[in-house]
Amino acid sequence: MARGRGPNKYQRAASQPQRDVTRLAYGGATKQWRGDREWFVREVSAHRAEKTYRCPDCGTDIPPGQSHIVAWSADHLFGDEAAVRDRRHYHHHCWRS
């Protein structure tokens, strides 16, 4: 008994949900709501964390080699460049709280 052919690549692509291209446009960042503001959020892996940062939520240091979150405003008053300059580094647990 011969089996019918499955859907071609165009049919498969049409049946899948649209992909979020925001990650490509903003260096792997996703958009998230925190409080009443929208943020671009990117995870920094432990091997890419090379500097010490101060977490704005808890006020303690994020040492080199510790994975963490980088966030910047999605609707900065002075535009995207200013938002990236004003980005902040958070512990994972501080960002989630």
pLDDT tens by residue, 23-49? 445 567 888 999 888 999 999 999 999
Mean predicted confidence (pLDDT) in 65-87:
85
Q: Is the pLDDT of residue 21 over 60?
A: no
pLDDT at 73 over 90: no
Give domain status of residue 68, yes or no: yes
pLDDT at 53: 97
2 in a domain, yes or no? no
pLDDT band at 8 (very low <50, low <70, confident <90, very high): confident
What is the spatial distance between Cα 13 and Cα 95, in angstroms, rounded to a whole number? Answer: 35
Please give the residue that has the higher pLDDT: either 31 or 55: 55
Number of domains comprising the chain: 1
| Nearest in space to 68 (alpha carbons), one of 95, 87, 86 | 95
User: Does residue 87 lie in a domain region?
Assistant: yes
With the CA atoms of 57, 60, 66 and 72 taken in that order, what torsion angle do they form, in degrees rounded to the nearest 10? 30
Residue 13 within a domain: no
pTM listed for this prediction: 0.68
3-state secondary structure of 74: coil
Q: Would you say residue 10 lies in a domain? A: no
Query: Is the residue at 5 inside a domain?
Result: no
Q: Where are the alpha helices (DSSP H) in 7-89?
A: 9-15, 22-25, 80-85
Q: What domain range is 28 assigned to?
A: 19-96
The reply to whether 3 falls in a domain is: no
Residue at 35 is within a domain = yes
